[in-house]
């Protein structure tokens, strides 16, 4: 057994050259992952990264762990089979908006509802990068791309609302340009027992540069983002603005206009209803929530699966192959 305590970020870096475009947001995510791993206490041999196809899916090649770069959209199923086979592994799925939400949409939602203890990192750059710039299922309506020269007419997905709708037990959002935040979310995703769904806004500087600039740009960031902290009021704009709930309707209020901080919405990530409301804060007129929107408790699939095997052995005894082959009705020919 290797002792993870002595490892550093470098120990999780493979000998392969990283081949993302210079300036790609993926570099930051890779670095934060490698940085945070020594703190997680997972032995390198028990760490597995599974990906599908797309720029993000090259990720496993750069990690010095077990890994599989599989086929388009199917990483959630491969990870499910792996976790079922060996529940002791720390399994991470790396996917993108095309891989996870388009071709692999079915695999993703079924992973979320089953709640295997697997961490899903969805790199969302709102574009198809590896196929050189077609609109994706998260691209903004009207976007002009190679395959939508007249503007996209595809209404985009809201990935976190989708994840909550699919009964995910951990739903969070982070961004490539905020390393501290991302490390914190990666740790929390790891700690959660169940499927953790983390959407990471990731800039594609070649085909969709600046897609998330309003959330990452230092000047705009304060007023466009909402940093969620459990038990804390929803504040933004350097504490000058807040969000309160009027029934089920979030309202943006200015604190200096007579609103008290006590009236604000206090973030409770265990509240599903409020998590849905947060996920719907998705338009241009409201700040975008970052952090853990929801964290609930539900049994994990791999444990339930193993429990059934154990219970079956307890009830019937460990299977006797000869008895099984013989069946209930056999006869002897002399």
Give the interface with other proteins as residue ranges (CB under 8 A): 1-2, 14, 16, 43-46, 48, 50, 53, 60-61, 63-72, 74, 77-86, 88-89, 106-107, 110, 305-306, 308-309, 312-313, 315-319, 321-322, 324-327, 329-334
CA distance 213 to 291: 18
Please list, residue by residue across 103-126, b when 16 or more beta carbons sit within 10 angstroms of its beta carbon and e when fewer do: bbbebbbebbebbbbbbbbbbbbb
CA distance 282 to 38: 34
Q: Which is nearer to other proteins, 36 or 42 (CB)?
A: 42
Q: Which is nearer to other proteins, 50 or 234 (CB)?
A: 50
Q: How far is the CB of 128 from other proteins (least distance, A)?
A: 18
Specify the pairing of strand 249-254 against strand 241-246: antiparallel
CA distance 121 to 285: 27
Eight-class DSSP state of 286: S
Q: Which is nearer to other proteins, 213 or 310 (CB)?
A: 310
Question: In degrees, to the nearest 5, what angle opens at C-alpha 156 toward C-alphas 159 and 197?
Answer: 10
Q: How far is the CB of 84 from other proteins (least distance, A)?
A: 6
Residue bearing tokens 């299922």: 137
Q: Which is nearer to other proteins, 180 or 325 (CB)?
A: 325
DSSP H or E stretch at residue 90: strand 90-96
Q: Which is nearer to other proteins, 283 or 317 (CB)?
A: 317
Q: How far is the CB of 295 from other proteins (least distance, A)?
A: 24
Q: How far is the CB of 132 from other proteins (least distance, A)?
A: 17
Q: How far is the CB of 272 from other proteins (least distance, A)?
A: 23
């Amino acid at each position: 057994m290797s002792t993870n305590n002595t490892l550093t970020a470098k120990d999780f870096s493979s000998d392969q050259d990283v081949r993302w475009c210079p300036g790609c947001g993926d570099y930051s995510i890779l670095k934060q992952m490698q940085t945070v791993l020594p703190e997680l206490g997972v032995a390198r041999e028990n760490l597995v990264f599974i990906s599908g196809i797309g720029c993000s899916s090259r990720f496993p090649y750069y990690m010095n762990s077990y890994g599989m770069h599989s086929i388009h959209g199917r990483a959630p199923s491969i990870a499910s089979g792996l976790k079922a086979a060996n529940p002791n592994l720390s399994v991470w799925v790396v996917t993108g908006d095309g891989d996870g939400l388009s071709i692999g949409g079915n695999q993703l939602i079924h992973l979320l509802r089953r709640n295997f203890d697997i961490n899903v990192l969805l790199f969302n750059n709102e574009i198809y990068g590896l196929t050189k710039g077609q609109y994706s299922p998260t691209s903004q309506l009207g976007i002009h791309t190679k395959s939508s020269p007249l503007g996209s007419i595809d209404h985009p997905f809201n990935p976190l609302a989708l994840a909550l709708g699919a009964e995910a037990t951990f739903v969070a959002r982070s961004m490539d340009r905020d390393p501290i935040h991302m490390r914190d979310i990666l740790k929390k995703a790891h700690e959660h027992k169940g499927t953790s769904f983390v959407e990471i806004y990731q800039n594609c500087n070649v085909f969709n540069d600046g897609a998330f600039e309003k959330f990452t740009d230092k000047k705009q960031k304060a007023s466009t983002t909402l940093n969620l902290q459990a038990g804390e009021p929803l504040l933004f704009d350097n504490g000058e603005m807040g969000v309160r709930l009027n029934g089920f309707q979030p309202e943006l209020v200015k604190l200096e206009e007579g609103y008290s901080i006590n009236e604000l919405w206090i973030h409770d990530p265990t509240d599903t209803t409020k998590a849905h409301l947060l996920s719907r804060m998705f338009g241009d007129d409201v700040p975008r929530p970052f952090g853990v929107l929801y964290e609930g408790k539900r049994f994990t699939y791999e444990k339930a699966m193993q429990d059934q095997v154990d219970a079956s052995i307890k009830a019937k005894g460990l299977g006797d192959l000869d008895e099984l082959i013989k069946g209930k009705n056999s006869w002897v020919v002399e």
